[in-house]
Amino acid sequence: MSVQQQFDGHWFVTIQPLPRIDERIPLNDLLTRVQRAGVMLRGWDYPHIDNNTRNLDGAIENTTDWREYHERWRFSTSGFFAHRWRMREDGIPERVGTLDFINAIWSMTEIFVFSSRLYGEDPTVEQVTVSLELDGLRDRRLTSSPEYWINVRHLPTEDTFRREATLNRASLLADALVTPGRWAQALFHVMGAPGLTEETVRSHQQRLIERRFG
Amino acid sequence: MADLEEFFRTLLANPRETKSRDNKGAMEWPAAKTEGRFDLLADIMAFSNARDGGTIMFGIENSTHAPVGLTQAQVSSFDKSNIFEAMKTYASPVPDFDLERCEIDNRWFVAIVVKEFRVIPTVCSRDAQIAVPGPPAKQKNVLRAGAVYVRTDGAQTIEINSEQLMRDLIELATRRRGEDLLRQIADLLPETMRGASKPPAVNPYASDIEAARRDLSL
């Protein structure tokens, strides 16, 4: 089996506003709602919106299939959001089978920033459950750059990493960095890098929020 | 730095101009008192007034999106302190931005990475005019004191000219202030009063999640 065939990792995210209200958002407002909540801090936005939105029964769906970007998301009138995307590292020949730790921190942070923008000021929402799943982790190497060297002691033996959190709306707005920061630390622990501190993770989150890439 | 290279590579891979992105071809930082220079200052002010800021990428052809790159002389013409001094003359508060350079596949590119305003939106603080050759010779206004520049969905920089655009900007400022206040309050609360809540005993979205797992295959 080639390296390319061996690694096929994905991220799967859901955002679930509570209580459930089936017609929380009118069908015609779904795309605008995602556009207004979208996170555009770095070169690729979250979620990426391509010009192919299709209407489903009570939802919209958007797909991107281009270079290393393979993703699909769905947004329903209940406010339920689900997003699946292929690990971009597996679409770049020299990075197959790896996971960049800064990109992982930034992706997790973008998910929560997006969630807070989607529901932070929606009075029909009391709580939001955010779930995250990464699969295809077994034997995947956590990587960094020369500027941010990390010590990786072993490759992960578990293939899937799952986390879920339910936050009230105020916490979602106030603490959009805390939960993803903790999840990132937990992920790196599983991937053989337990030494990454909360301060290190937070500093990279701040770099994203402040758009400091240099 | 690897993150910077990744940032540039992503921008090059996705060259479409948007509300948060503008492309300029191969050029130097314009000389003083030219329309091109004032247009760039207006762009920076507009990106400062946009959610998540924006990026002006130099070295990409506007119409074709071809990554033509810049010559060394063009790269050298971009100096952060010069741009900052120009902004200080015409913008209040002065937008926060970084000037980044990167070589990708033997071509050099420059990006002005503008941050969203921190507290209050950026306002143009001084008129700017350029001479238009005659006859008769006249002056053309290119920046207006008191103007608030914003980006449109059509990737244009314009002066706020509608109630909706003004409301959007006020909402952005208010929301930002509210989030900052919430963070300060959250810091004062004990751990037990913030953070995680209990999810419902039965997930009302169980079937949606199952359907999404099945349907969102790649």
The per-residue pLDDT for range A123-142, each reduced to its tens digit, is 999 999 999 999 999 999 99
pLDDT band at A179, cuts 50/70/90? very high
Answer whether B127's CB lies under 8 Å from B143's CB: yes
Give the integer Cα–Cα distance in Å for B203 and A163. 15
Question: In the predicted model, what is the mean pLDDT of residues B99-121?
Answer: 96
Give the gap in angstroms from C-alpha A145 to the nearest C-alpha of chain B.
6
Facing residue for A212 by CB, picked from B98, B197, B208? B98
In three-state secondary structure terms, B60 is: strand
The reported pLDDT for the residue numbered A102 is 92
Q: Looking at beta carbons, which residues of chain B come within 8 Å of A45?
A: 20
Kindly report whether the peptide bond that precedes residue A156 is cis, defined as omega within 30 degrees of 0: no
pLDDT band at B193, cuts 50/70/90? low
DSSP one-letter code for A27: G
Examine the pLDDT at B212 and tell me if it is beyond 70: yes
Examine the pLDDT at A29 and tell me if it is beyond 60: yes
* Residue A71 in contact with partner chain B when CB distance is under 8 A: yes
Facing residue for B205 by CB, picked from A20, A43, A214? A20
pTM score > 0.90 for this model? yes
Give the integer Cα–Cα distance in Å for A163 and B17. 35
What amino acid occupies position B9? R
Query: pLDDT (tens digit, 9 = 90+) per residue, B17-76?
Result: 999 999 999 999 997 778 899 999 999 999 999 999 999 999 999 888 899 999 999 999
Give the integer Cα–Cα distance in Å for A91 and A166. 32
A48: alpha, beta or left, given left = phi > 0 and alpha = psi -120 to 50?
beta
In three-state secondary structure terms, A57 is: coil
Nearest residue to A99 via CA among A170, A212, A187, A36: A187
The reply to whether residue A211 touches residue B196, judged by beta carbons under 8 angstroms, is: no
Examine the pLDDT at A105 and tell me if it is beyond 70: yes
Encoded tokens for B56: 């002006």
The reported pLDDT for the residue numbered A5 is 64
Q: Is the four-CA dihedral A101, A5, A52, A135 of positive or negative sign?
A: negative
Question: In the predicted model, what is the mean pLDDT of residues B125-133?
Answer: 90
